[in-house]
């Protein structure tokens, strides 16, 4: 029987370089002879579409509705028989996912009841734990600079404050999940150096 693939999650604030580092890790794993599938949450499924409508403001949703939609999207992402995480890892693919339940805990957890959000995600029988979560850690100032080069100074400052809040929430979430295999990687360095640190962690 084919060896099972790994489920690798990336988390990080805006500007932390998730997209680039996911691509580089996928190339690294492929060079090592692995089959790789890249995915993201929200997904491209129906529930992912509902989430994108909410995130862009086209459809207003309450914090509880959002948390429940992310949960539904995540369950579907795990169990979809065509291209779900369970199916692909069983077929030997290493699945790399841009955001997972840590995002729900960090974002929705601060907008509605944290314990409820944590409980429904962590104790759901159809939502698996990742084999490894890579948190691309970058300070809010550097991240704001990376994403805001064309914005007004006050806007950059506001953005920086929001990023700082989200980063702190992530760190609290990780501290509360000792059973999860979370690697906090310093992502403020050169792209190649960060990629090397990640490759060392993932193996
Ligand atoms: P998107 O622009 O699709 O991707 P990214 O910011 O990762 O490049 O944004 C996804 C947004 O959804 C982001 O602001 C975080 C948010 N989100 C949650 O609030 N909860 C979740 O569970 C997930 C997966 C994402």
Tell whether ligand 1 has an atom less than 6 A from the beta carbon of residue 110.
Answer: no
Decide if pLDDT at 152 tops 80: no
Edge-first strand order for the sheet with 7-12 is 35-40, 93-98, 7-12, 132-137, 182-186
Decide if pLDDT at 2 tops 80: no
C-alpha distances out from residue 7 to 4, 85, 97, 167, Å: 10, 8, 8, 23
Tell whether ligand 1 has an atom less than 6 A from the beta carbon of residue 121.
Answer: no
- Please report the DSSP string for 185-201 in residue order: EE-SS-HHHHHHHHHHH
Tens of pLDDT, residues 42-92? 999 999 999 999 999 999 999 999 999 999 999 999 999 999 999 999 999
Tell whether ligand 1 has an atom less than 6 A from the beta carbon of residue 98.
Answer: yes
Tens of pLDDT, residues 93-123? 999 999 999 999 999 999 999 999 999 999 9
Going by alpha carbons, the residue nearest to atom 20 of ligand 1 is: 104
Model confidence band, residue 158 (pLDDT cutoffs 50, 70, 90): confident
Q: How many CB atoms lie within 10 A of CB 31?
A: 9
Domain 7-202: CATH architecture, name and number where available:
3-Layer(aba) Sandwich (3.40)
Decide if pLDDT at 180 tops 90: yes
Q: Is the peptide bond before 42 cis (omega within 30 degrees of 0)?
A: yes
Model confidence band, residue 150 (pLDDT cutoffs 50, 70, 90): low
- The structure's pTM equals 0.96
Find the Cα–Cα–Cα–Cα dihedral 159, 165, 171, 172, rounded to 10°.
-160
Average pLDDT over residues 166-175: 98
Sequence ranges of the domains in the chain: 7-202
Q: What angle do CA 24, 27, 32 make, to 5 degrees?
A: 130
Q: What is the 31 CA–ligand 1 centroid distance (Å)? A: 29
Is 187 in contact with 16 (CB distance < 8 Å)? yes
Q: What is the pLDDT of residue 153?
A: 78
Tell whether ligand 1 has an atom less than 6 A from the beta carbon of residue 44.
Answer: no
Q: What is the pLDDT of residue 1?
A: 65
Tell whether ligand 1 has an atom less than 6 A from the beta carbon of residue 14.
Answer: yes
């Amino acid at each position: 029987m084919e060896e099972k693939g790994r489920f690798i999650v990336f988390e990080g604030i805006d500007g932390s370089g998730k997209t680039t580092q996911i691509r580089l890790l996928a190339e690294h794993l492929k060079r090592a002879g692995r089959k790789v599938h890249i995915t993201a949450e929200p997904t491209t499924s129906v529930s992912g579409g509902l989430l994108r409508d909410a995130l862009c403001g086209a459809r207003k949703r309450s914090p509880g509705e959002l948390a429940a939609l992310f949960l539904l999207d995540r369950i579907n992402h795990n169990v979809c028989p065509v291209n779900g995480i369970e199916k692909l890892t069983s077929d030997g693919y290493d699945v790399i996912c841009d955001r997972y339940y840590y995002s729900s805990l960090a974002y929705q957890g601060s907008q509605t009841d944290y314990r409820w959000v944590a409980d429904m995600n962590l104790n759901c029988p159809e939502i698996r734990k990742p084999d490894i979560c890579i948190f691309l850690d970058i300070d809010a100032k550097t991240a704001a600079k990376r994403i805001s080069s064309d914005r007004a100074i006050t806007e950059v400052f506001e953005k920086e404050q929001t990023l700082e809040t989200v980063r702190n929430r992530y760190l609290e979430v990780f501290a509360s999940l000792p059973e999860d295999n979370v690697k906090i990687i310093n992502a403020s360095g050169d792209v190649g150096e960060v990629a090397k640190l990640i490759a060392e962690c993932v193996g």
